Structure 1
């Protein structure tokens, strides 16, 4: 809905690209994490497929954002997108050539992915601060908060059930952050 609004108004208004760019980074890293180069065989096939779809969606969001952003926001979006490419490619190259076994590759890629996930789940907190300051939820999309919470909760469950701390750990942070966003949204949605 956020991007339908952006396309309809032909402006990014005061929406931030940061959550979407960080989600793109997260999806790139975890797609790589799930591939047989890093994980053993296809043990993390759901991680690859879901995050692969996430790459397509988040990339689309970033392209739409970039298309309708003004000059300064366009530069920020471009710089962040380049950083995503550099980090993702660096992690892929380092994990492939610097580590000889799956365990170490998984530890390296999982550690970088863990930090990216925590950053992704924490990025909407800037919007939470703005909501509290302005007492308006206009630029804190409900669906971003809701699906962030839902996805984080599901990945946490998957990580715990599969005993994969690199999947569970960041989501132990992401789920409560999603709850905070939803509570703030509900508190300020109905205020005049």
Structure 2
């Protein structure tokens, strides 16, 4: 009876782990592919506009370190972590190169410098873990590194969230990107909990929470529509023209004072 129950629990755990890893891989792939919509817009406008390149560079570092952590000689039984993050790393390299091509000079220099720093950090961590550490020490070192930079990756959209709150517009925080951050973080968080792997569930728990916050922001501000700037400018110009014609034969000083008062009221 006890043996049967034990086998049943073991099978249930294995199926749950498989389901979470499968879901995590699918949602992670969609998460990596979600920015394609953003890059189509960048390509059409030939400008990166207010989009930030930092999330793509930090995601690249996270993918590289997570793929390294999932390798059998570092962390056994985590090969699916390695394969999906290896795929993600390749996709993120394409995004970073594309972003650099269309970014303004100052932004290009910043993102390129960060890109080189990411490659240097990954190379250093990989070499140290490969030649200086063994067994559990290697797993601990790589796990801590992957966790720290996974949390950094999930935190990188905070600047965009601040922009959303400031402008009350979700234009630069795509819905599907936020959705898949939530789904991916949740899937791997559960996988890490079931597998008792703190280096998987800790950063992805943070990602789950951040994804939730992004979705809440999106649904708060998704229907906000600001006044089109060009339209407001045209209306002001027409009003000033009419005002000028009405006061053409009047007191010029009074006319100037009226215009100044009008502009002050508009600013308020």
User: Could you tell me the TM-score, scaled by structure 2's length?
Assistant: 0.69
Q: TM-score, normalising length from structure 1?
A: 0.95
1:1-192 → structure 2 map (5 Å cutoff): 1-40=37-76, 43-101=77-135, 103-192=136-225
1:23 Cα shift? 0.6
How far apart, CA to CA, are the structure 2 residues paired with 1:146 and 1:66?
26
Question: Take 2:116 and 2:109, find their aligned partners in 1: how far apart are those partners?
Answer: 11
Per the TM alignment, residue 143 of structure 1 is displaced from its structure 2 partner at its CA by: 2.1
Would the aligned equivalents of 1:125 and 1:181 in 2 still touch at CA under 8 Å? no
SS at match of 2:118: helix
Higher Rg: 2
Q: Distance in 2 between matches of 1:173 and 1:100?
A: 29
Residue 63 of structure 1 deviates from its aligned partner by 1.1
Q: Deviations over 1:99-124 (max 9, x none)?
A: 122x1111101101111111111111
Unaligned runs of 5+ in 1: none
Instruction: Report the Cα distance in structure 2 between the residues aligned to 1:188 and 1:142, rounded to whole angstroms.
Output: 11
Structure 2 distance, partners of 1:21, 1:144, is 16
Q: Following TM superposition, by how much is the alpha carbon of 1:37 offset from its aligned partner in structure 2, in angstroms?
A: 2.9
Q: What is the deviation of 1:25?
A: 0.4
Distance 1:158 1:169 in 2: 11
Contact 1:99/1:105 (8 A) holds in 2: yes
- Give distance in 1, aligned partners of 2:39 and 2:182: 19
Unmatched 5+ stretches in structure 2: 1-36, 226-268
